[in-house]
Chains A and B, each alone.
Chain A
Amino acid sequence: MTLKHMWVAAGLALSALMMPSSMAAQGTIKVGVLHSLSGTMAISETTLKDTVLMLIDEQNKKGGLLGRKLEAVVVDPASDWPLFAEKARQLLERDKVAVVFGCWTSVSRKSVLPVFEKNNGLLFYPVQYEGEESSKNVIYTGAAPNQQAIPAVDYLMKDVGVKRWVLEGTDYVYPRTTNKILEAYLKAKGVAAADISVNYTPFGHSDWQTRVAAIKRFGSAGKKTAVVSTINGDANVPFYKELANQKISAEDIPVVAFSVGEEELSGLDAKPLVGHLAAWNYFQSIKTPANDAFIKQWKTYIKKPTRTTNDPMEAHYIGFNLWVKAVEKAKSTEVENVLAALPGLETPNLTGGVAKMLPNHHLTKPVYIGEVRADGQFDVVSKMPLVPGDAWSDFLPVSQDTEADWVTLKCGNYNKKTKVCSGQNYK
């Protein structure tokens, strides 16, 4: 065998080796999963990775999509914000995924945003966030402030009669923006500045004695007081412990939280927390046939009957189903076609309502206020019918004239007064 023959043989062997994989790549639709599987956010995000895998699994059992199987591409951005951008680039440029489900913190979303806009990717973002953003390439399946924070404050104001407000948050972008919106909203409702106290603590704050004593003092002015908590992560545990230790019960000063759900409560003794509130668009305790089926499916898939479901999981469920519908409608997985098909699509959510994709890339969502039960689940005490998500808050002077519309205006940042589209692109 000559050298030349050897080269040809090697080439043939190589191409034979590569054939199945390239055939498979053509045969499957790749779905990117961009959730931290290690580091501080792993606690919350691992669950979401498993949710997407479960949904893909189920879709494949139904015969896949457009006659092709779905294939998950899972990467681990390790709770490291710049790494999120790097992994997103890898998913879009190397793996050529059709869609990505991912991110949890706002800072990770901001980190991947330019990558998705540059590569014209498609990201489904499943977590409640501070708003003030609408990208062509991102579908926000979590709550905007008007679907969580504002209704919660309304409930406390009207049904509980709260007159004094403590806005307690962790020191980063989501609490700061949310509290800015809430402060403006409360003042618009006639709450005096002296009746609002805003405070921030660092991530992982554990010495809450001074803050809780201050809340107690603030609440002793004879007016009904409530705490609106945007405290994030594990700082919540010592916070609630200290509240219980200093004998502040939910009956005296209720705390309504936007980042504490079933998953966060599953790891701790919920008895001292009974009666404190959370506002979400989904609770595991809501009884509907769809929810029962989802919970059962999740527990079977994860093989652990004690696991809970939560709001961001439902957001992924809705987002995945919307994407499937859009692909079927467009008969293509091309991002441009899917994006064109998405607005106006509807899919049932898990609590008996309908999630409709709005032109601003947000959803219609019901709002539930729940009180913590001793078993770590929530009793729904108030329900608001479907609220359309508003990307740009009407209560902040900088954004009240701004509108997002990707159907008629083709703009995520359109000023209604000046009729100028500043563009949400980060280019």
Chain B
Amino acid sequence: MVRTTGPSGGRWLVSLLLAVVLLTSSGAAQAPDDAFRAALAELPTASFVDKEAIAERLLASGHRNAAPVLTAMLEDRLFARNDDNAIVVATAPEDGATTLTLLDPVTLGSAGTSAPDGLTRIGTNNRLRRFLRTAVARFGLENVDPSVRLQAVTEMIRSLDESTVELLEQRLPNEGDARVRTEITFGLALAALDSGEAPERLRAVQTLAARPRSDVRNRLAALIERDAQGAVPEPDEAVRQAAAAAVGSIDSARRRYAAIETLFFGLSLGSVLVLAAIGLAITFGVMGVINMAHGELMMLGAYTTYVVQTLMPDALGWSLPVAIPAAFLVAGGAGVLLERTVIRFLYGRPLETLLATFGVSLVLQQTVRSVFSANNRAVATPAWMSGTLQVNDALAITYNRLYIVGFTVAVFGLVLIVLKRTRIGLEIRAVAQNRGMARAMGIRSQWVDAATFGLGAGIAGVAGVALSQLTNVGPNLGQSYIIDSFMVVVFGGVGNLWGTLIGGLSLGIVNKLLEPYSGAVLGKILVLVALILFIQRRPRGLFPQSGRAAEGL
């Protein structure tokens, strides 16, 4: 339709433009400004659909300020001033500023300042935002920054039409950056699937076969899908064969990457379990103390993160590196206090220890409720921990999980070094194996007990910092991890740090392998049942302690 009426429409447009130019030869610069302003003036009362039409008009006007105004609209910075109903653009507000600096949309000159109350925002909805994003993307195509251009191209590919394809075609010869070129070629290949020429379509299919994206797969599959009459949309046999082959290869690639993804999910869940259990592996595994308040020590670590973030609101990126040692000290301190005041009187009486520490866990929960309120606290995620690492078209890994896997490995390594390579580690192991002999050698066993418990509690606090990034920070945080922690330690083998690592990771992976089929609820039950059966067969876990160490317990 557009094609056939094109020439005559074009001629009509030219004559209209001529007329406009002739009529307004004196104020040629005024006319677009006025039209621009008139279109803007309709915004405050327009519905979302009308707003889209207005945005389209602003875009088509070719006005030099179309880009900044539409960007402002997308970013919620376009307002109608309540006093005079004038449309104004607010500059991105600085932190803590109570007034907004306003610009006139037509001239981009200053339009004074205003408190947020004096302005009514030009609202957007999902559809409008999607439209604006594509519209704004076009302006990014000529940007000097290749990453902006890349994003612009990606955005344009999401809604390809004649005008975007034309823009991409124009850009391709001038594009210097290899990644942007690949993306443009990809976009043009997608568009070429609708081309009339069979060889061109074949080339497009071959280009697309290398991209395991779901939208590509759907487009290619649509080419060869038979409708009710058995007819196929694609007339050319060679293209059909290429498309079928491409769909097959994309499918297998996506399956492969989905398996890798599941494995990573398992690994990340497993590392959370390990992180939560390492502290317990020390207090329960090495000292034999059943510490039901272990979860609450993690909660203390998570709240420490919250406090650190409220104390340094301007340096969010640094809050976690600061929170890690702080949480170690807070939770470790609480652990030493707990050991000195409660647990040391109960050594060798596991049932009493269990009850006493359970009581302590309730006290800690209520303390946190009284100090911070029963509501969850919002712990922010620093920018460097949010988002995804796009490995390729089919595989993306979220940064927060990636960091936590790395963090777990680091904590595990550190604990191992402390226990195996330092003097205090040697003393801890000595006291754990044979208290009497260790004391005879001049080791202050009481001091070592406190230090060991403090170390375990401190590690729990550090785990709390990591958990604050994954789950809600509230008084009940600890309860949801205490069972899992004991599960990991018992499964891995009491007193064996490597067992904890292997046990936690394998429980995580099994859980995630089961979840897509059984659902989260049943998956957890199945894992628990399997664990119970396993413990029946091997009561001492995966890696039971042997020799003198076992007797020491």
Given contacts A43-B375, A267-B376, contact A238 B472 (CB under 8 A): yes
Given contacts A201-B521, A251-B130, A267-B375, contact A246 B214 (CB under 8 A): no
Indicate if the CB atoms of A268 and B378 lie closer than 8 Å: yes
The stretch of B33-41, B395-403, B433-441 in contact with A is B395-403
Q: Which of B125, B130, B215, B262 contacts A371 (CB 8 A)?
A: B125
The stretch of A205-213, A294-302, A310-318 in contact with B is A205-213
Indicate if the CB atoms of A220 and B123 lie closer than 8 Å: no
Q: Which of A199, A210, A222 contacts B262 (CB 8 A)?
A: A210
Residues 112-133 of chain B, each 1 if its beta carbon lies under 8 Å from chain A, else 0: 0000000000011111011001
Q: Which of A204, A222, A381 contacts B218 (CB 8 A)?
A: A222
List which A242-275 residues lie within 8 A (CB) of chain B.
Answer: 242, 244-247, 250-251, 254, 267-269, 275
Indicate if the CB atoms of B378 and A234 lie closer than 8 Å: no
Distance to closest chain A CB from B214 (angstroms): 3
Residues of A within 8 A of B399 (CB): 245
Indicate if the CB atoms of A237 and B472 lie closer than 8 Å: yes
Interface size of A by CB at 8 A reads: 45
Distance to closest chain A CB from B274 (angstroms): 14
Indicate if the CB atoms of A217 and B476 lie closer than 8 Å: no
A303 to B264 Cα, complex, angstroms: 48
A268 to B381 Cα, complex, angstroms: 11
The stretch of B2-10, B291-299, B511-519, B534-542 in contact with A is B511-519
Given contacts A247-B387, A267-B378, A381-B48, contact A209 B398 (CB under 8 A): yes
Residues of B within 8 A of A38 (CB): 374
A251 to B129 Cα, complex, angstroms: 8
Please name the residue on chain B nearest to A39 by beta carbon. B374
Residues of A within 8 A of B130 (CB): 251
Indicate if the CB atoms of B215 and A234 lie closer than 8 Å: no
List which B457-474 residues lie within 8 A (CB) of chain A.
Answer: 470-472, 474
Indicate if the CB atoms of B521 and A171 lie closer than 8 Å: yes
Q: Which of A43, A206, A251 contacts B480 (CB 8 A)?
A: A206
Residues of B within 8 A of A246 (CB): 388, 396, 398
List which A20-41 residues lie within 8 A (CB) of chain B.
Answer: 38-40
A115 to B476 Cα, complex, angstroms: 31
Residues of A within 8 A of B222 (CB): 222
Output the residue of A42, A246, A251 with the most chain B CB within 10 A.
Answer: A251
Residues of B within 8 A of A17 (CB): none
B269 on interface, CB distance cutoff 8 Å: yes
Indicate if the CB atoms of A209 and B265 lie closer than 8 Å: yes
List which B110-163 residues lie within 8 A (CB) of chain A.
Answer: 123-127, 129-130, 133
Given contacts A200-B519, A246-B398, A247-B396, contact A379 B381 (CB under 8 A): no
A241 on interface, CB distance cutoff 8 Å: yes
B56 on interface, CB distance cutoff 8 Å: no
Distance to closest chain A CB from B492 (angstroms): 20
Given contacts A247-B387, A371-B125, contact A206 B470 (CB under 8 A): yes
B357 on interface, CB distance cutoff 8 Å: no
B268 on interface, CB distance cutoff 8 Å: yes
Indicate if the CB atoms of B258 and A251 lie closer than 8 Å: no
A10 on interface, CB distance cutoff 8 Å: no
Q: Which of B126, B133, B400 contacts A245 (CB 8 A)?
A: B400
Indicate if the CB atoms of A199 and B374 lie closer than 8 Å: no
Residues 518-530 of chain B, each 1 if its beta carbon lies under 8 Å from chain A, else 0: 0111001000000
Residues of A within 8 A of B510 (CB): none
Indicate if the CB atoms of A207 and B218 lie closer than 8 Å: no
Q: Which of B133, B388, B470 contacts A251 (CB 8 A)?
A: B133
A201 to B262 Cα, complex, angstroms: 18
A251 to B134 Cα, complex, angstroms: 12
A221 on interface, CB distance cutoff 8 Å: yes
Given contacts A222-B215, A251-B126, contact A234 B480 (CB under 8 A): no
Please name the residue on chain B nearest to A44 by beta carbon. B375
Indicate if the CB atoms of B374 and A209 lie closer than 8 Å: no
A202 on interface, CB distance cutoff 8 Å: yes
A12 on interface, CB distance cutoff 8 Å: no
Residues 391-432 of chain B, each 1 if its beta carbon lies under 8 Å from chain A, else 0: 000001011110000000000000000000000000000000
B104 on interface, CB distance cutoff 8 Å: no
A373 to B265 Cα, complex, angstroms: 31
Distance to closest chain A CB from B131 (angstroms): 10
A192 on interface, CB distance cutoff 8 Å: no
A264 to B375 Cα, complex, angstroms: 10
Residues of A within 8 A of B401 (CB): 209
Residues 40-55 of chain B, each 1 if its beta carbon lies under 8 Å from chain A, else 0: 0000000010000000
Q: Which of B272, B472, B520 contacts A201 (CB 8 A)?
A: B520
Distance to closest chain B CB from A46 (angstroms): 9
Indicate if the CB atoms of B125 and A379 lie closer than 8 Å: yes
Given contacts A238-B472, A250-B126, A251-B126, contact A42 B374 (CB under 8 A): yes
Distance to closest chain A CB from B353 (angstroms): 27
A39 to B375 Cα, complex, angstroms: 10
A409 on interface, CB distance cutoff 8 Å: no
A75 to B516 Cα, complex, angstroms: 43
B380 on interface, CB distance cutoff 8 Å: yes
B386 on interface, CB distance cutoff 8 Å: yes
Given contacts A171-B521, A268-B378, contact A234 B396 (CB under 8 A): no
Q: Which of A199, A200, A234, A269 contacts B474 (CB 8 A)?
A: A234
Please name the residue on chain B nearest to A40 by beta carbon. B476
Indicate if the CB atoms of A247 and B472 lie closer than 8 Å: no
A220 to B262 Cα, complex, angstroms: 17
Distance to closest chain B CB from A36 (angstroms): 10
Please name the residue on chain A nearest to B214 by beta carbon. A220
Please name the residue on chain A nearest to B266 by beta carbon. A210
Indicate if the CB atoms of A379 and B123 lie closer than 8 Å: yes
A290 on interface, CB distance cutoff 8 Å: no
Distance to closest chain A CB from B536 (angstroms): 26
Output the residue of B125, B222, B476 with the most chain A CB within 10 A.
Answer: B125
Residues 66-77 of chain B, each 1 if its beta carbon lies under 8 Å from chain A, else 0: 000000000010
Q: Which of B261, B377, B470, B524 contacts A213 (CB 8 A)?
A: B261
Distance to closest chain A CB from B371 (angstroms): 15
Please name the residue on chain A nearest to B399 by beta carbon. A245
Residues of A within 8 A of B480 (CB): 204, 206
Indicate if the CB atoms of B476 and A205 lie closer than 8 Å: no
Residues of A within 8 A of B521 (CB): 171, 200-202
Please name the residue on chain B nearest to A371 by beta carbon. B125
A381 to B129 Cα, complex, angstroms: 13
Indicate if the CB atoms of B472 and A234 lie closer than 8 Å: yes
Residues 435-452 of chain B, each 1 if its beta carbon lies under 8 Å from chain A, else 0: 000000000000000000
Given contacts A199-B519, A275-B126, A381-B48, contact A207 B378 (CB under 8 A): no
Given contacts A38-B374, A210-B265, A245-B400, contact A205 B520 (CB under 8 A): yes
Residues of B within 8 A of A340 (CB): none
Residues of B within 8 A of A269 (CB): 378, 380
Distance to closest chain B CB from A141 (angstroms): 25
A271 to B474 Cα, complex, angstroms: 21
Q: Which of B48, B215, B472, B515 contacts A210 (CB 8 A)?
A: B515
Residues of B within 8 A of A193 (CB): none
Given contacts A214-B516, A246-B388, A371-B125, contact A241 B381 (CB under 8 A): yes
Output the residue of B126, B133, B519 with the most chain A CB within 10 A.
Answer: B126
Closest 3 CB pairs of A and B: A220-B214, A222-B218, A206-B471
A–B pairs, 17, beta carbons within 8 Å: A40-B476, A42-B374, A42-B375, A207-B269, A207-B272, A207-B520, A210-B516, A221-B214, A221-B218, A237-B472, A247-B388, A247-B396, A251-B126, A251-B129, A251-B133, A371-B126, A379-B123
Q: Besides A242-B398, A246-B388, 17 other CB < 8 A contacts?
A: A43-B374, A200-B519, A200-B520, A202-B520, A204-B476, A207-B520, A210-B520, A221-B214, A234-B376, A234-B474, A245-B386, A251-B130, A269-B378, A371-B126, A379-B123, A381-B48, A381-B125
Residues of chain A having any CB pair with chain B under 8 Å: 38-40, 42-43, 160, 171, 199-202, 204-207, 209-211, 213-214, 217, 220-222, 234, 237-238, 241-242, 244-247, 250-251, 254, 267-269, 275, 371, 373-374, 379, 381
